Amino acid sequence: MDFTSRHCPAAKWSAVRRALGAAILLAAGGCAVGPDYKVPAMPVPAAFKEDAGWRAAAPDDGAKRGPWWEVFNDPVLNQLEMQIETSNLSVLEAVGNYEEARQIARSDRTGYFPSIAGSAGVQRTRSASFESNTQSVTTTPGTTTTTVTTIPGKGLTSSLYTAELQASWEPDIWGKLRRTVEADVATAQASAADLALARLSMQATLAQDYIGLRGSDDKIRLLEGAVEAYKRTLKITNNKYAVGVSARSDIITAQAELDSTRAQLIAEGVTRAQYEHAIAVLIGKAPSEFSIVRTPAMGLTLPDVPPQLASTLLERRPDVAAAERQAKAANAKIGVQTAAYFPTLSLSADGGYNGPQLSNLVSAPFRFWTIGANAADSLIDWGQRHDLVLSAKATFDASAANYRLTVLTALQQVEDNLAGLRILKDEAKVEDAAVSEAAQASQIALNEYNAGTVDFTTVVAAQVTELTNRETALGIIQSQLTSSVALIQALGGGWKTSDLPNP
């Protein structure tokens, strides 16, 4: 229906108000078509199988929040981790993606309100006019000639001033806009969870690279010590050869053992450099501009990660939260597609003033207005709307399956790292004993060689065994530290779903 008039009788205004009031009430109380969201069902065990120290009460006691990496008690690591938030390019990319999704959600909310536009203008027109000039001339007696000449006049100039406001609004009767906003908010929250996941992933990667670098430092120290020990062994062999109690082959064997260990030492320098370069990129720096000084010792403390309930993964894992929010967004889009079955109602209003003079433009004689309502619906779409609804439902089913898979994967990762830490702890005890025994055997072999009771090959074998066991012991310590980082990451770090924003 449309109403157009310069003067609005009271009866028509009353009808307009009733029509607008009914539309507003219908929009406010209208239903939101489509299924209401329910979190996809996912049974979670009460406890982790591998967590022998699990306690049902207060599972989060002692858990660090936020800077979880402080459990390793390394000031250099702490300083590096603080740069992830502001300098890591993957995190900054995720920040941009979240901001984009947040602004989309905010933009869609503006559809709840009418859009209003204004315009003002002036139009000047000029019409042409002509003047006639008549002259009479007597040419011969009794003969008069009349001449009419037309010349342009000044013309007529007129002006039209206009001031106008236009408003339009589409009431959200069937909840299409509400479902759209619901989907976009959930998508923005999923993007926020992706940001938390990127941040946690980069923090964990940095911690693991730093542990690798410090592990490389430890191995370099071990190989440097071995080189010095093998130099002493070579000197002993040379002395024995000089007095004729050792063969030339013993010197060659001792020199080969020394050179082989030197080669290992050089190769380990490459590994350390690569870890250092990786850390530089993680904190947004060029590798040529960054270096980490070697320390006398590892300096990292093996943390005691507090036990937790398995169900807390649903609250602490950002990837689980992201998958769940994506499922909610997909569910809301079913309602968006379902709303297409119903007609849309749009309301519009246009009013203002136009007149020939600016001074008295805003006055009753020059007022005009237009108001109208329009309903539209698709009568025949050959099944397109039905297909789109089915497509949206299939998308939700896929999102729900992805959510369940993400939960199961999270449970697996925690179990893997709990098992790894338990087994590595047992392995470390056995390996420590093996190192002690190998060191004793190496010293005994060297003493017996000096006494002339064993040949040099016995010494070499004992020294190689000792070095191998020491390298294995260092590898186990590094694996324990790395698995601790992986376990903290698998448990979600210090993040919780309550941290999700409401865009």
Q: Where in the chain is the domain with CATH 1.20.1600.10?
A: 32-115+172-342+382-499
* Confidence at residue 257, expressed as pLDDT on a 0 to 100 scale: 95
DSSP 53: T
For CA atoms 91, 96, 100, 102, the dihedral sign is positive
Mean pLDDT of 470-488: 95
C-alpha to C-alpha distance for 454 and 452, rounded to whole angstroms: 6
Q: What is the pLDDT of residues 387-432, one digit of tens each?
A: 889 999 999 999 999 999 999 999 999 999 999 999 999 999 999 9
pLDDT value at residue 286: 95
Give the tens place of pLDDT for each residue, 448-468. Answer: 998 889 999 999 999 999 999
Query: What are the tens digits of pLDDT across the range 101-116?
Result: 999 888 888 887 887 8
Residue 15: what residue type? A
Whether residue 322 is predicted with pLDDT greater than 70 in this model: the reply is yes
User: Is the predicted pLDDT of residue 445 greater than 60, yes or no?
Assistant: yes
32-115+172-342+382-499 folds as Outer membrane efflux proteins (OEP) (1.20.1600)
308 and 60 Cβ atoms separated by less than 8 Å: yes
Contact assessment for residue 193 and residue 314, using Cβ atoms and an 8 Å cutoff: no
Instruction: Decide: 374 and 345 in contact? Cβ < 8 Å.
Output: yes
Per-residue pLDDT tens digits for 287-320? 999 999 998 887 788 888 876 778 888 888 999 9
Q: Which residue has the tokens 């968006």?
A: 336
* Summary mean pLDDT of the chain: 83
Judged against a pLDDT cut of 80, whether residue 75 lies above it is answered with yes
Query: What tokens does 443 get?
Result: 């010293």
